[in-house]
Amino acid sequence: MQRFENKVAFVTGAAHGIGRATVLRLAAEGASVGAADIDAEGTASVVDEVTGAGGSALAVACDITDTASVDAAVAATVERFGRLDVLANVAGHNLALEGTEPAEAQWGRQYDFTFTGATRCIQASLPHLIESRGSVVLVGSISGQVALGTAPYAAAKAALANLVRNLASDHRPRGVRFNVVAPATVATDRFIGKEALLEELKAIYPLGRVGKAEDVAAAIAFLASDDASWITGITLPVEGGLTAGPGHLLNLL
């Protein structure tokens, strides 16, 4: 299926995990992809994989905490491919407390990275997306809906859900859609060496497993595609049934 033939996507966090899987999924469906990350080696690797399979991709350096960096990365993608149809902002993780860093600074770093970083990407992409009547998909977290992460991370992710609701309303005449995917536990690089933990976590999911990066990439591709042309302003949980409740665990008692 070539849902993104003749379309161009810009994907942040492209070097690893969900971002990498998203680049590969969109490219496999026909998109030309600007693969953006601060990890130049990892980004070059995913671009090589795309082009080796006959697809089209460009590696662009991008730090989502730096407005000039984001602007330049989006501009480079548009210059190379001539347009922009999809923004998939995947970059983001739970920032660890650094030594004796004050709590206020921790909250500020997490919010800047997770929430303001997303707004930087949107602002840089929006003029092009208005022209193409394109789509924005942000990666939130199920931690933004239930208590599963640290408070700064969870609060910043929760803010993305309200952001897309407002942007969806604000930009309704322009035809740009805004949505969030909210994953739960996904077996990415950050769990290397923690395979025993992943095995334990399977029990809390009704579907009996943790997520794969490809699961989330598939949801991003759906929301970015014309298959979701009448969907905007929503947060789509991609969480193996976690928020359905603990009934499957109670049955084990």
Q: What are the residue numbers of the active site?
A: 153
Opening angle at CA 215, ends 211 and 219, nearest 5: 135
The torsion angle over the Cα atoms of residues 146, 148, 153 and 156, rounded to 10 degrees, is: -10
* Closest by CA position to 15, among listed 42, 55, 53, 49: 42
